[in-house]
A and B are shown apart, each in its own frame.
Chain A
Amino acid sequence: MDESVFYIAEGAPGDKHSQESFAAAASSHSSQQHASFRQADAPLNGAVLTGTGQGERLIAASKGKALLTVWSWGKEGSDQKIPVPEEMKCLASCGQPDLGQTSSSHTVPSFRVPWLLAAGSKSGKLYVWELASGNLLCVKDAHYQEIATIEFSRCGTYLVTAGHDARCMVWKTLDLISAYTKDEHATKPYYSITDNTLPVMTVQLSLAGLANDLRLYTGSRDGTVRIYDVATRTLVTTFVLNHPVESLAVDPASRAIYAGLNNGLVRTIELYKVQNSVLEPVGGNKKIVTVDHDPELKHTFVHHQQRMAGGADAPVAVTQVKMSFDATNIISGDSLGRVFASNVVTRQVVKAFAPCNSPISRIYVDTCPVESVNASLGSTKNDKKHRLIPQLKRVLVSNDPIEHLLYLEIPNGEDEDEDFEAWLAKKSEEELEFRNLSTINTTVKEVPRAGEVGELQEKLEKVAQAYEELRGKHAELIEEHTKLLSE
């Protein structure tokens, strides 16, 4: 098992063809490099990594062009360039919804794509594609300005967009994709948040098994981090910070928020505190909590403020923060292209990754078996025809469902292998069938039938005797005859 950290940068401004850019995936625990992607760059939040290991892909929006570029894990060069209606600024993907208890398990097929790809454009439009068909299911004027980030809830039920127009929208995925049954223009956002005064740069959704527990965390350049309850559509807590918030990471157990600020600090916002010797949650009930200045650096990670030797004096912003698998480390990337893993308790850097030349635009952290990330071990049997994802359509799908055509590999259902115990039990039953359990031994013996056979035997003996006699006589006669002839 290994933890893989993937990061991609925005690309140097002068580098028109992304010659100098690269994206990489490396272990956060060892010096092992898992994969690298050449000429890969993406605007802030403008890249999607579908997973870690063979068969997964990196999809990134191109800088200044209406193009998405696709890389396959394990191949350095890009596989596909897909034209899209306009220049995209941020991307998000959503895996297949979980079937819960009724699910039957399938093994991962070698060709696989996530369910949906959502993209936010420079003009504030939201695009949603179904990756297996390439159908453009939804185009929506979601924001008045550029969309800064898009996030799907883990269950795929909600889609959250946040933009430079200081608004944040929660959509129901089902409403957006019901292209065949509804008038697409009638789709209204599930919840429209207009609490912020400056661009909302980052949103996070909590991991929630119950739809009622889903929390939305937003971070804005107006220096606030807000927590919303998605089910009831209410603001729960507002945290006010001293600096604009550029990125957020939320502890998987919802114990703390880590906010990356534009002055190079990562600030821990605890969601539980010891108050009068009792553990209490912080905030709630629409409270506004001012996050104090932290002169003793008890709750602050400062390592991004360290300048590189001879570096420019431009302010450093922490552009991405992610949590490690065990939530003891945060992985953070900054506008100088550096990526660090640091421990949340000691706030020490545990690992520094190979730096990029431009601001880090996306980080993914994933845990997977060691062999899966190793490019040399994986099967590369898929030829190009069966590796490329369907072209993304540039026009909205027609509302005739009959044209819905999926391009996919049907996964393998569970192979039930008979185990030895079961086999042996079956054999024991079969053996029983060979056994004679009755008290009667039915082995058939050849018993001569007395009457008929005896009679025949007698007859045969008689005939044989008669024949013998006859033969003797015949021989005698012949002898006599020869005697007569010789005389």
Chain B
Amino acid sequence: MSIPLSLIIKELESTPDSILSILSTLHYDKSILLNITKSETNHLISRTLNLTKSPDAYNKWCGTNLIRVLAENYTILSNNGIVLLEQLLTNLENYNHTIDRKILTSTIEAINFICKQIRGKPTLTREILTPKLPTIITKYLDNIHFNPLLVIDSLFILVKHHPTTFRPFGNKLASRLTGFLNLGEFTSFPEKLKQSIFKTLAILPVIEKAEPEVQWENNVRNIIKEVVSILSVYNEFLNLNDDADIKRLFQKLPSAEIDSKKLLEPLNLDVNQPKSLFQISSNIEILLNLLSTYLKVETRFSVRVPLGLIVTLNELICSINLRFVQFKFDVRDDALKSIIKATTLKNQFNAVKLLQELALVYRGNVLPHLTNILSYLEVLIPFKNKKIDFNELLINEELAVALLSCVESYLSLVGNLGDSSQLLRFVDTSLLLVEPRLDSSLAPAAVKKVDQPQGKNNKKKKNTNSVAMSDLLSHQHLFVESINSGTIKVVRSFLSAIISRVNLPPTQHYKIMRYLILEAVNAKYYSYEKSVSPQLRNLLINSVLYPGFEKVSLLPIVSQLIPQDPLLSVFTNPRFPPLPIYVKKVEEPTELAGFGDNDEDEEVVEEKTTVEDDSEPSAKRRKTDHGEASASTENGDASVIPAKPEDIEIVDEAKVFVTKEVSSEDVISFPSEPVVQEVKRVEVVTTAPVPAPVVAAPSVDVAESAAGDDSDFEMPEIDLDGDSDDDE
């Protein structure tokens, strides 16, 4: 739907009925703004400005969004950009909490969009953006508390693209952001906002005039030091010094000096208020997340990443594990103990997340540490009596899932891992996580307790507040706890990574295969479309591609479960690759070289056969070509086809080789009338390879055409069978 310009201008005279159609018209119908006359432009701009200036919220909102769309047009942007931007800035300046929040977001979005349009264009930047940028930054900083997410994201972009202009505001922004970090409620901020704050803090070193990379590295090292000094608090509760490894790690890692400036305010712990201990894990969470953001936010300069230090830091966090470290004697309070345990688990969770980020960004460079990392991740799996502690695992499902996802990322860096012993526990964990879970209240002990008669006297008194729990026994299936879909997803992709990279011992291998066949059959049965989810499909395909120790291939099962999979079809109908071929021209004395090739890249081929005339649309040609190919092959399949005895040998060759993939540009043979024309054109093709480029070496050229030409063109006449017999 396109509205004519005159109507738009009329509509904008006062409060428009709906601005959306106007916005989409102006955006999609570029011709409106391209063919606009001078007076119409003035009209449009002044009406837009009027709307934007209006005290009415809806009008203001309409005007602001109109500016955003108008800024898409370069002419308007260069002629009226300053006025539009100034109006938006005035609106931003006058903003206060009594005004609708939508005005603020729209205004900031419009300013961001104008900045984005201008960025990179030198004159516009010089004339419009650079003079206004300090004002924009100040206004953004002033309004940060109204919509922190949007404003901080916008500031991030400004820092990233205009580090020099941003320099005077760097400290102000940094202090504002660290202020957010130190708020008690920071941990409950929405995840997006947290990320955006971290991201902006992490990019700030870019505004440094001299050696931003030094600033970056210092910041990273300071964060690590701060984490280490917070971790040392555990010394007060746990006998960390009993563990030689932890002691060694503490000694190796740098710790912050007492009087050094820290990002976060000092901890304020009180053993009598056990809740205050959660500060440890929340501060570590903030620091580790910030560190992880530092390590993944792009830098415009090369930086020195202390990767070893970070890996060691994570090792330390994972080593503070209550399975191996004892509480000090004076810590007796159970609440205190469980809180300390919870904080260590939380730290481990954050460390595992950081490790995963490392794998995603630094890829190969983390591999020298792989064995080390896997071994300290392995001990995070709760273990009791030589078995995985299922209950403990479920309590910390989040940690277990993060762990699997992290191990998967590391595995995917490796093509093939010979040694599977380090991974067995992870495999067992993953399978346990997707086992059907009964509601914990269904545990025999719990049932017994509730059902037990309280005593003889109470026997007859019916408790009206509680209902009998007979449902537990009669409808047991209703009490099966459903497994988190996130967990299932992670487990499946973990298993997929495992079977494609590791040769598992038969026990684990069969367990996995059993799991996935059962899952697939169930999923298929209960799906109306009779299909399985893409993830499960992927897992099934991997189980065929990587059979492991399996003697019996899963191919028959899997090909029935997902019958229409193109990849499996290659397995069930094995074939050879299509070969380069000659296409025999019977009518013509010369043959042409057919580059029968499965490379889909037609452009390259076209470059090679530049002489070819493209008079016929390629789609049509392909069609005719395909028709021709399938006609000659009878069943256009490229698998091993025994030839019909009546076929002559040359045709037989074509039959075996020509597939659908044969590039149409090269194999041009038409039975119908245009054939003659085509072939004539193609005749040039055969000579084409030689002349033009070879000019550089004339001697070769001559020799080549002398030696090459006739042997070349005679070639196809020699029958192939005889040739292959020779080789036998």
Complex CA distance for A343 and B686, rounded to whole angstroms? 11
Complex CA distance for A408 and B362, rounded to whole angstroms? 10
Instruction: Decide: B608 and A29 in contact? CB cutoff 8 A.
Output: yes
Q: Write the nearest CB–CB distance from B723 to chain A, whole angstroms.
A: 7
Contacts of B601 in A (CB 8 A): 325-326
Within 8 A of B (CB), among A99-139: 99-104, 109, 111, 115-116, 130, 132-133, 137
A377 in the interface (beta carbon within 8 A): no
B379 in the interface (beta carbon within 8 A): no
Complex CA distance for A279 and B655, rounded to whole angstroms? 10
B326 in the interface (beta carbon within 8 A): no
Instruction: Decide: A255 and B580 in contact? CB cutoff 8 A.
Output: yes
Instruction: Decide: A277 and B642 in contact? CB cutoff 8 A.
Output: yes
A478 in the interface (beta carbon within 8 A): no
A354 in the interface (beta carbon within 8 A): yes
Contacts of B501 in A (CB 8 A): 211
- A156/B364 contact (C-beta < 8 A), A309-B699, A420-B27 known: yes
Instruction: Decide: B302 and A130 in contact? CB cutoff 8 A.
Output: no
Contacts of A111 in B (CB 8 A): 302
Instruction: Decide: B364 and A412 in contact? CB cutoff 8 A.
Output: no
B378 in the interface (beta carbon within 8 A): no
- A272/B599 contact (C-beta < 8 A), A178-B370, A407-B302 known: no
Instruction: Decide: B576 and A137 in contact? CB cutoff 8 A.
Output: no
Instruction: Decide: B364 and A326 in contact? CB cutoff 8 A.
Output: no
Instruction: Decide: A404 and B686 in contact? CB cutoff 8 A.
Output: no
Q: Write the nearest CB–CB distance from A318 to chain B, whole angstroms.
A: 14
Contacts of B697 in A (CB 8 A): 338, 352, 355
Instruction: Decide: A350 and B312 in contact? CB cutoff 8 A.
Output: no
Instruction: Decide: B298 and A413 in contact? CB cutoff 8 A.
Output: yes
Instruction: Decide: A130 and B368 in contact? CB cutoff 8 A.
Output: yes
Complex CA distance for A1 and B596, rounded to whole angstroms? 21
Within 8 A of B (CB), among A290-304: 291-292, 296-298, 302-303
- A178/B302 contact (C-beta < 8 A), A430-B102, A434-B57 known: no
**Pick from A99, A326, A346: contact of B686, CB under 8 Å:** A346
Instruction: Decide: B369 and A212 in contact? CB cutoff 8 A.
Output: no
Instruction: Decide: B412 and A99 in contact? CB cutoff 8 A.
Output: yes
Instruction: Decide: A255 and B363 in contact? CB cutoff 8 A.
Output: no
Q: Write the nearest CB–CB distance from B219 to chain A, whole angstroms.
A: 13
Complex CA distance for A277 and B720, rounded to whole angstroms? 9
Q: Write the nearest CB–CB distance from A389 to chain B, whole angstroms.
A: 10
Instruction: Decide: B305 and A408 in contact? CB cutoff 8 A.
Output: yes
Contacts of A349 in B (CB 8 A): 689-690, 694, 700-701, 704, 708
Instruction: Decide: A410 and B361 in contact? CB cutoff 8 A.
Output: yes
The listed residue with most B CB atoms (<10 A of its CB), out of A137, A351, A428, is A351
Instruction: Decide: A289 and B727 in contact? CB cutoff 8 A.
Output: yes
Instruction: Decide: B364 and A102 in contact? CB cutoff 8 A.
Output: no
Contacts of B604 in A (CB 8 A): 1, 3, 29, 324-326, 367
- A345/B724 contact (C-beta < 8 A), A298-B718, A340-B700, A401-B308 known: no
Contacts of A427 in B (CB 8 A): 19-20, 23, 65, 106
Complex CA distance for A178 and B656, rounded to whole angstroms? 49
Contacts of A338 in B (CB 8 A): 697, 700
Instruction: Decide: B303 and A326 in contact? CB cutoff 8 A.
Output: no
B484 in the interface (beta carbon within 8 A): no
Instruction: Decide: A406 and B365 in contact? CB cutoff 8 A.
Output: yes
Contacts of B311 in A (CB 8 A): 401, 404
A470 in the interface (beta carbon within 8 A): no
**Pick from A102, A280, A402, A424: contact of B24, CB under 8 Å:** A424
Complex CA distance for A211 and B720, rounded to whole angstroms? 34
Interface 9-residue window, one of B225-233, B413-421, B612-620: B413-421
B603 in the interface (beta carbon within 8 A): yes
Complex CA distance for A350 and B701, rounded to whole angstroms? 10
Within 8 A of B (CB), among A160-210: 172, 174, 177-182, 190, 210
**Pick from A297, A326, A351: contact of B599, CB under 8 Å:** A326
Within 8 A of A (CB), among B622-636: none
Q: Which B residue's beta carbon lies closest to that of A397?
A: B368
B18 in the interface (beta carbon within 8 A): yes
Contacts of A103 in B (CB 8 A): 360
Instruction: Decide: B415 and A155 in contact? CB cutoff 8 A.
Output: yes
Contacts of B700 in A (CB 8 A): 303, 306, 338, 340, 349, 352
Complex CA distance for A406 and B699, rounded to whole angstroms? 52
- A345/B593 contact (C-beta < 8 A), A405-B308, A406-B365 known: yes
A348 in the interface (beta carbon within 8 A): yes
- A343/B412 contact (C-beta < 8 A), A97-B363, A424-B23, A433-B102 known: no
**Pick from B307, B371, B500, B577: contact of A406, CB under 8 Å:** B307
Q: Which A residue's beta carbon lies closest to that of B689?
A: A350
Instruction: Decide: A410 and B298 in contact? CB cutoff 8 A.
Output: yes
The listed residue with most A CB atoms (<10 A of its CB), out of B363, B365, B653, B704, is B365
Contacts of A413 in B (CB 8 A): 296, 298
Instruction: Decide: B303 and A346 in contact? CB cutoff 8 A.
Output: no
- A277/B371 contact (C-beta < 8 A), A157-B414, A352-B693 known: no
A22 in the interface (beta carbon within 8 A): no
Complex CA distance for A475 and B242, rounded to whole angstroms? 108
Contacts of A354 in B (CB 8 A): 696
A254 in the interface (beta carbon within 8 A): yes
Within 8 A of A (CB), among B46-61: 57-58, 61
Within 8 A of A (CB), among B351-386: 359-365, 367-372
Instruction: Decide: A326 and B712 in contact? CB cutoff 8 A.
Output: no
Complex CA distance for A333 and B497, rounded to whole angstroms? 41
Q: Write the nearest CB–CB distance from A278 to chain B, whole angstroms.
A: 6
Contacts of A242 in B (CB 8 A): none
Q: Write the nearest CB–CB distance from A47 to chain B, whole angstroms.
A: 22
Instruction: Decide: A326 and B643 in contact? CB cutoff 8 A.
Output: no
Instruction: Decide: A282 and B727 in contact? CB cutoff 8 A.
Output: yes
Instruction: Decide: A99 and B298 in contact? CB cutoff 8 A.
Output: no
Within 8 A of B (CB), among A268-321: 270, 272-282, 289, 291-292, 296-298, 302-303, 306, 308-309
A380 in the interface (beta carbon within 8 A): no
Instruction: Decide: A348 and B712 in contact? CB cutoff 8 A.
Output: yes
- A97/B364 contact (C-beta < 8 A), A157-B416, A274-B720, A346-B708 known: yes
Q: Write the nearest CB–CB distance from A385 to chain B, whole angstroms.
A: 8
Q: Write the nearest CB–CB distance from A50 to chain B, whole angstroms.
A: 14
B99 in the interface (beta carbon within 8 A): no
Instruction: Decide: B546 and A345 in contact? CB cutoff 8 A.
Output: no
Complex CA distance for A428 and B649, rounded to whole angstroms? 69
B562 in the interface (beta carbon within 8 A): no
A409 in the interface (beta carbon within 8 A): yes
Within 8 A of A (CB), among B380-415: 408-409, 412-415
**Pick from B298, B653, B724: contact of A411, CB under 8 Å:** B298
Complex CA distance for A256 and B607, rounded to whole angstroms? 24
Instruction: Decide: A405 and B304 in contact? CB cutoff 8 A.
Output: yes
Instruction: Decide: B57 and A255 in contact? CB cutoff 8 A.
Output: no
Within 8 A of A (CB), among B297-324: 297-309, 311-312
Contacts of B640 in A (CB 8 A): 278-280
Contacts of A430 in B (CB 8 A): 61, 102, 106
The listed residue with most B CB atoms (<10 A of its CB), out of A130, A182, A412, A431, is A431
Q: Write the nearest CB–CB distance from A136 to chain B, whole angstroms.
A: 12
Within 8 A of B (CB), among A431-463: 431, 433-434
- Mask for A333-359, Cβ within 8 A of B = 1, else 0? 000001010011111111111110000
Contacts of B65 in A (CB 8 A): 427
Q: Which B residue's beta carbon lies closest to that of A343?
A: B689
Complex CA distance for A401 and B364, rounded to whole angstroms? 15
Instruction: Decide: A182 and B718 in contact? CB cutoff 8 A.
Output: no
Query: Other CB < 8 Å A-B pairs besides A180-B308, A211-B416, A349-B689, 9 of them?
Result: A97-B414, A178-B371, A211-B500, A276-B721, A278-B640, A303-B708, A349-B690, A409-B300, A413-B298
- What would 22 A/B residue contacts be, using CB atoms closer than 8 Å? A1-B604, A103-B360, A115-B363, A130-B364, A132-B365, A181-B372, A212-B545, A255-B577, A274-B652, A279-B576, A281-B576, A327-B580, A328-B608, A347-B712, A351-B696, A352-B694, A352-B696, A407-B303, A409-B298, A412-B298, A430-B61, A430-B106
